[in-house]
Structure 1
């Protein structure tokens, strides 16, 4: 299922010409890195900003809330990696919310390919540690849907050295 979240992110990166670096080993929760070429905007301070991404895919660990946000059950070990403040590059969690039935994951014709449902992103940097042993439920706001536009906004913020 993680391949679906990576395919989704790769499609968004392709729109902007961003490079993706695939990590061969899951070190500190890092699955892929995304790199922007040059400056994403005139006000950029950093050239070629980068972000690290932990990818998750699920249909069963996600609960849609009335306000449009989602609750996601995240393993504590992953949570602890994501809250760490002392990282060289920013790290975000991307959760791909997919249909339960595998036959509904993609649709395709000779004109288009549709990857079904959507992904959400969140930075957990600096959040409180937890005493939970197995998992922790995190809430991802509805306005944190990962789209081609929100991905560009994330890269612009990083290039301006702003917090996510």
Structure 2
């Protein structure tokens, strides 16, 4: 018997993706950014987050994001990192690629296996009961022959509006996200 408690087994994975897209869109809106969903997963990226330039004479700053949502990984905030296994090596390779611009990040959401627990509403808020974490894999390598590489994600890298603003500020200054 499956541990997953889905409202509808046929749509559970699609709903996980939708939940994460809503989380990322909410964070981007709070940070003053736009989210452009990548409709065709040709490049392994799911979204482009774009912040307009403060000065009309300057260029906007953006970052690609690959979105992953899992019910099998539950990060422990008392530990420095958690491990997430990508299903395909090509996902890792696209994220590890040294890009000129835009750079790319992995955003992983750890979601409850019980769909009814994903959100809670009250008169003054809608709470998403789970968290997204981000990491830059640029320049990293996976062991030869490993088809489903695992990556280490810092639990301090909570993806929120402050994190997104910091990521885009660093990219705007030409700084690495791996420092």
Structure-1-length-normalised TM-score: 0.88
Write the mapping of 1:26-65 to structure 2, written as runs, cut at 5 A. 26-39=41-54, 47-62=59-74, 64=76
Query: Could you list the per-position Cα deviations for residues 86-130 of structure 1 after superposition, in whole angstroms to 9, with x for gaps in the alignment?
Result: 353100000011112101011112321011111100010100143
Please tell me whether the aligned partners of residues 73 and 110 of structure 2 are also in contact (alpha carbons under 8 angstroms): no
- 5 Å-filtered alignment, 1:13-162, equals 13-39=28-54, 47-62=59-74, 64=76, 66-75=78-87, 76-162=89-175
- Counterpart of 1:43 in structure 2 is none
Residues 65 and 152 of structure 1, relative CA distance in 2, 3 Å threshold: closer
Q: Check whether the contact 2:31–2:164 (CA below 8 A) recurs between aligned residues.
A: no
Q: Which has the greater radius of gyration?
A: 2
Structure 1 position 64, deviation (Å): 3.6
Contact 1:83 1:129 survives alignment (8 Å): no
SS of structure 1 residue aligned to 2:93 = helix
Classify the secondary structure of the residue corresponding to 1:12.
Answer: helix
The structure with the largest strand share of the pair is 1
In 1, are the aligned partners of 2:32 and 2:51 still within 8 Å (CA)?
yes
Residues 29, 138 of structure 1: alpha-carbon distance in 2 compared, 3 angstrom cutoff? same
| Range that drifts further, 75-84 or 57-66 | 57-66
CA shift, 1:61, in A, is 4.2
5+ residue gaps, structure 1, are: 41-45
Whole-angstrom distance in 2 between the partners of 1:62 and 1:26: 26
The alignment's C-alpha RMSD in Å is 1.9
TM-aligned CA deviation for residue 17 of structure 1: 2.0
TM-score normalised according to structure 2 size:
0.81
Q: Does the CA-based 8 Å contact 2:86-2:149 persist in structure 1?
A: yes
